[in-house]
Structures are given as C-alpha cells and as structure tokens.
Structure 1
Amino acid sequence: MAAMLYRTPILTSEDSRVLLEIKAARRDLHHHALSAPAKLIAGLRKFLAADAIAASNSIEGFKVSTIDVEDLMEGERDVDVTDENREETLAYQRMMTYIQSLHDAPDFAYSTGFINALHWMLQGHRHSIRKPAGQWRRGPVYVTDARDPSIAAYTAPEASQVPGLMSELTDWLNTDDGTSPLIRAAMSHLHLVSIHPWADGNGRMSRSLQTLLISRDGTLAPEFSSIEAWLGRPGNTWEYYSVLARRGVTYHPDQDVSEWIRFNLTAYHQQAQSVHARLDRSNRVWVLLEEFARHRGLDERVVTALHDVAVSGRVRRSRYEAAEGLSVQQAQRDLRDLVTAQLLTPVGKTRARFYTVGPAFPEPPLELARTPFSLVDPYQA
C-alpha cells in the first residue's frame, strides 16, 4: 500500500546551519540551567509550563493569562477566570504533566490507544455522542476560515481513512529513521493536524505530540523544550495558520513541506533565544535581590517571593509557602513583614489575596525584569 503520510523533506544547507545552531543553543541552555539557583530554575520551569498551556489554549480561543495558569497549576481556587477556561486549563495541564513525565520513560512506545488516551485527558470533560473524546471521529471535520466561518479553509480526510492513517502514523513514530528528533517532532505535528482524527481538540493534540517528541530527545527538561508559547504569540499564530493553509484545502500528502520545516526551525531557534534571555534575566534579578536582602538583613528565603513579584508581577502565599517549604504561619509572617517594610502591597482579602510591588521595592531589579529582549530570525542572521 502506498504511504499516506507526508514525506520528510531533505534539509537545505541553510536548514542544516539553523538546526546546528538550535542544537548548540539547547546544549548551552542545559549547562546554563545547571549553574543557576535551583529555586530559580524550579520557578522558571513552572512559568514555562504555564506559558505553554496558556499559549496553546489561547490559539483555540481559551484566554487565561500565564500568571493565572500558574496559580491554577498551584491549586489556587480563587482565580478570576471563567469555569470553561478553568476546565480547559486544568485538563491541558494534566495531559501536559503526563507528557512531560514520559521524557525518560523506559520501554516507551506509541500506539493508537495511547494517543486516544491523551485525547481523553484533554477532552474527556467535553465528551458527548456528537463529539466523543478518546475515539476517532465518525464524520467529517472542517477548519473554518477565521474571516468567514461559512468557508472551509481545510477539509480533513474522510472518517473511514482515519484508522489507517493513524496506524501508519504510530508505525512511523515508532521507527527511528535517523532524522533529527526536532525534525521528526515537527513532522509529527503536521501529520496529526492534517489527519484531524478527532471531532475536537486536534490543534492542541498536535502541538502536544510535538512537545512529547522534543522532550523524548532528552537534551532539555520538557518545560524548556516546547514551542507552544512561541506559537501562541499573535503574529506567530497568524503565520502558523498561514503555513498550514498553504498545504491546501484538502489532504494532499504528495507535496513538498519544506516551508513547514523552515517555520518550525525558526520557532525552535527563537524559543531557545527566548528561554535563554528569560533565564539570564531572571538570574540577574535574583542576584540583585539577594544583595538587597543581605543589605537589609532579610532572611534569604524571602528572595523567592520578591523575585516572583519582580518577574511575574505578583506572588501568592501558597506559592511562596510551597517554593520554600514553609508552614502556613511562617509564610504569612514573612509576607506580613514584607508588607510592613513596604516592599510588598497586599491585594484582595483572605484566600484570594496576592501581593504586588510595594513603594519601597528596589528599583534596579524591577527595571531589569521589565526590560524587553529581542529575537533574531535565524534565516536572516
């Protein structure tokens, strides 16, 4: 039987150069992360995981800020989001937590059952007869034009073709063909989003499958590896849809998909730049706050709370408590003392309370934390 999937394109010399730069950047990030304070890295990993969830959900129209996603991930109940957005965020978080745990799982193998189980984790709360979760769709599915929902921008393969296509995809996933894991990850995304095997949730599942393949490469912690946050930036989201749209309005796997590879290589490169810049900036903010705490005679543990406020804009008692392994009373006392010193300002009451910058918060770390960084296009460098 003839292959029904896209053929992985041969890289150009420019593609190969960019791929080598990405690999070097990922190795550098790995070593940089090992030398940074463990508490800082733990906080950055949580931020990156939340940022990926917030971005991927935003592509599908579920708008929850990264900091609110972080709070939901920490188990906070009093977060100002709709019930629907809460459900979608927590479902995606549960699935992504599982995916991230598989980065070093032994004897791992892909199967249609495994992929459907991931879909149930993502969409189980929306399961219905019309849109079953964890099962291949039973009818047609369309991606509508963002400008006119009466127009089908893409019509997926017929439902009768889905089992065969997904069987071929899992066989491909389990076969090491010597291609770079990053290229295979990009192709897995394209394969799954083009097959569109479910009635709903196809975009997030395709991005999650790509994240799984990247994390299985093992170079970086899974939270450092995802490009979902990059895809969720408005301009990149538009280009993401545009690149997919240029594949055609129906499924034609017998075409050159080099443009998709270049798009993903740009995403990998710029996401590595972004994470490296965030890590470097957070590390420098941390050092400034450590110096400030020593100068003021503050316990070094409060640097965690001050750092969260500087880089994220706020901190909650439960987050600080968990990060430092404190009792409720210890965390409350520390934050109360920081408020008394006018370093923090409380907002809200009781369970919903969080803390933001106070009038005496040191300016240098704030200025540094708020300084934007720039990204370069690797194909125009």
Structure 2
Amino acid sequence: MLFPTPGLTATDRRVLDDIESMRTALRHQVHDSPTKWTSGLRKFLTADAVAASNSIEGFKVATVDVEDLMEGESEVEVSEENREETLAYQRMMTYIQTLHDVEDFAYGKGLLNSLHWMLQGHRHQSRRPAGQWRKGPVYVTDARDPSIAAYTAPDHTLLPDLTQELTDWLNTDDGNHPLVRAAMAHLHLVSIHPWADGNGRMSRSLQTLMIAREGVLAPEFSSIESWLGRPGNTWEYYRELNDRGTHYQPDQDVSSWIRFNLTAYHQQAQTVQGRLNRSGRTWNTLADFTDTAHLDERTITALHDVAMAGRVRRARYQHTESLSLQQAQRDLRDLTAAGILQPVGRTRARYYTAGPRYPHTALDIAHTPMTLTNPYQT
C-alpha cells in the first residue's frame, strides 16, 4: 500500500498556479537569454543540486568545487570520499537529465536499481549491495543519538510487492498535477527505503526526474535539491519525514508534505529567477567594462565566473570559449598583468579571483542578496 495523494485546498491551488506562472515565465526568459550565460547557469544549478543533496547526507563539498570536479579538474581540495560521492551523484544526475525527453520511457525496478548502482556502485559490498534491494533491515537513526532509530523501514520481504506497486503507480496517470505526483514519488520511495544506503538521494533524484519529464523547464532548472540542502530547509525536511511516524504507515494524511513541497517549488523558482536576473545584469556590466578597457569580448566569460562563482580556472575558461591552451593562458596572464584578476596557488591547482582593478560594480550586483517570500504567508 502507498500513501494516498491528498486533495489540494484552495490555497494549495493558488500556490500551484503561481508556480506554474513563474516556471513558464522562466522558460521563456531562458530561451531569450544569451546561450553563454544561461549555459553557465545550467552548470551552476546542476552543481548546486549535487552539492546540496550530498550535504544532507554529510558529504560537504562547496558548489564551486563541485563545478570544478564536473569540469574534470583534478586539483580540487576535497577528500577522496567526498570526491567519489560528488562524481557518482553527478554522473547519475547527468543521466537523469538525458531522460527528460525519451519517447519510449517507462519507470521500472531495473531503472531504479541502475540509477542506484550509478550512485552507490563504488561502495558495493555483499552486505550492503548497490543496485539491488536490501537483504535485511535498515534504520534511519536519530541525528543526535545513533542508538535511537528515528525510522524503521518495511521488512525486506515486502520490497518486491512495494516496489512493484510503486513502479505501477509511476507509470499510471492518476490525474494529479505532475509536481504533486513528483512530491508523492519522493515520499513513497524514501518511506519504502528499498536499498541499504543512498535512499534519500535516490528519492530526491526520482522527484527531479519526474519534474524534468513534465517538460516545462530544462532538467537543470527542475530540481529542488539545492533548496532542500539549505540548513533551515533541511531541518524542516527531516521534520516532515519524522512526522510520518517511526514505521511505514501509508494510511495517513500527508497534506503537510504536499504544502512543504509546494513551498520548495515556489521558492526554488524565485531563487533561479533571481540568479538569472543577477547573472544577466552582471554580464551586461562586464560587457561595458571590457568594451571600455579594450579587452577581447571572450574575456567576459572569465570575469563573469569570478563575479558569480568567486573564481575561474584556466581549464574552465578554455573549455567554455573553445580556446587553445595558449590562448586561455595568454588571456588570463594579460588580465592578471592589468590587475583585473589575481592568481591563487601554483601550476595545475591555480585559479583566479578578482584583482584590484576588477569592476566592483559587477561584484556588487552578483553578491546582492535577494528576499524569498513564503507563498503560504502572502
């Protein structure tokens, strides 16, 4: 038995309408914006989702470091464990993003276990197998006292039937809004807890996949994982899950879970819109600066990374602008000589930050914080 999908209140429907309007407007804005800086935003959002979802599970890697790892940088100062977890989750997320427009797509147990192998294959053990349903009990322990089980998952003998019911439900249109269904899929999977490890990230990824399959926004814009990874929101996330009880009790009202997710969708849309606006204003400011300073237009990309991410690496700049190694090195050397950038570190680990002559107006725009509204308090 799965959790029944609750009916929406009039307020829920108003919030959902707001989300739909915001996402549609965002889709048009992304379509009409220059590819260079929307491409950077896509990479950032993917990296932020990976960093946030992993952080919920205790793997702490800054978004800018995730971006560097995604670009193939080897000299990133993170532990080997965090590196492996980041790259595994990024590979799985990349695959999920490619599934958004597959015509003969269908959910199945094989798909879920394959995604789990991408996530946990590097940790595969006979006692805690990756890509296979667990063979014994599993517990979610209390964050303050690991001797206390905050949640005990269903017995492993129930998994074949529960996962079959879930995949049948995933492949059936029950008439509920796709965003509501995605939230319910997250709750179903994380409550069934079919694997020995990685259940939280798998459940959040399934929600991302379902939103991406809806087709309103590109997959990179569809995840709420970065919203869930903010400390206050993570606490609320755990509270919502804890409110479901210490054991699998699907015969209950989960309206508060839906409200929590609608809030997440709404505020993530606000966040992406805000970053898109700041990114565009920053780009235009840097375009004016490079024109006045008689710099090549391509250097805007490097300067934009510094404003939005805090730094730029040679390999990232070279790849984004399709430059030769010598061209990229020369541009960064010239920007450094002009005092616009300053290098940090040596050889392959080197990156560049804002120098004394970097246009601080661009930094001010990029770093101006935005205010989020709670759609249920409006």
- How far the C-alpha of 1:129 sits from its partner, in A, is 0.9
- How far the C-alpha of 1:34 sits from its partner, in A, is 1.4
Equivalence for 1:288: 285
Equivalence for 1:59: 56
Structure 1, unaligned runs of 5 or more: none
1:353 aligned onto 2:347: no
Equivalence for 2:45: 48
Equivalence for 1:73: 70
1:179 to 176, 180, 197: 176
Equivalence for 2:377: 380
- How far the C-alpha of 1:162 sits from its partner, in A, is 0.9
1:320 aligned onto 2:320: no
1:128 to 122, 125, 144: 125
Equivalence for 1:215: 212
- In structure 2, what residue type is equivalent to 1:206? S
2:192 to 187, 191, 195: 195
CA deviation map 1:275-308 (0-9, x unaligned): 0000000100000000011111111100000000
1:116 to 94, 113, 116: 113
CA deviation map 1:336-367 (0-9, x unaligned): 01001100000111111100000000111111
- In structure 1, what residue type is equivalent to 2:76? V
- How far the C-alpha of 1:228 sits from its partner, in A, is 0.1
- How far the C-alpha of 1:147 sits from its partner, in A, is 1.1
Q: Any idea what SS the aligned residue of 1:49 has?
A: helix
Equivalence for 2:147: 150
CA deviation map 1:168-196 (0-9, x unaligned): 00000000112111000000000000000
- In structure 2, what residue type is equivalent to 1:149? P
Equivalence for 1:362: 359
Structure 2, unaligned runs of 5 or more: none
Equivalence for 1:5: 2
Equivalence for 1:22: 19
Equivalence for 2:339: 342
Q: Distance in 1 between matches of 2:371 and 2:83?
A: 32
- How far the C-alpha of 1:78 sits from its partner, in A, is 0.3
Identity of aligned residues (%): 70
Q: Distance in 1 between matches of 2:220 and 2:356?
A: 34
Q: Distance in 2 between matches of 1:363 and 1:67?
A: 20
Q: Spell out the pairing of 1:298-313 with structure 2 (5 A cutoff).
A: 298-313=295-310
Using the size of structure 1 for normalisation, the TM-score is 0.99
Equivalence for 2:29: 32
Q: Distance in 1 between matches of 2:338 and 2:175?
A: 59
Equivalence for 2:271: 274
Q: Distance in 1 between matches of 2:92 and 2:363?
A: 34
Q: Any idea what SS the aligned residue of 2:146 has?
A: strand
Q: Any idea what SS the aligned residue of 2:175 has?
A: coil
CA deviation map 1:239-259 (0-9, x unaligned): 000000000000010000000
- In structure 1, what residue type is equivalent to 2:16? L
- How far the C-alpha of 1:133 sits from its partner, in A, is 0.3
- How far the C-alpha of 1:36 sits from its partner, in A, is 1.5
Q: Distance in 1 between matches of 2:120 and 2:363?
A: 40
Q: Distance in 1 between matches of 2:334 and 2:356?
A: 14
Q: Distance in 2 between matches of 1:257 and 1:62?
A: 29
- How far the C-alpha of 1:123 sits from its partner, in A, is 0.2
CA deviation map 1:132-171 (0-9, x unaligned): 0000001111000111111100001000011110000000
- In structure 1, what residue type is equivalent to 2:214? D
Give RMSD over aligned pairs: 0.5
Equivalence for 1:237: 234
Equivalence for 1:102: 99
- How far the C-alpha of 1:370 sits from its partner, in A, is 1.0
- How far the C-alpha of 1:37 sits from its partner, in A, is 1.3
Q: Distance in 1 between matches of 2:277 and 2:365?
A: 11
Q: Any idea what SS the aligned residue of 2:148 has?
A: strand
- In structure 1, what residue type is equivalent to 2:297? E
Structure 1: which 4+ aligned runs deviate by more than 3 Å? Answer: none
- How far the C-alpha of 1:106 sits from its partner, in A, is 1.1
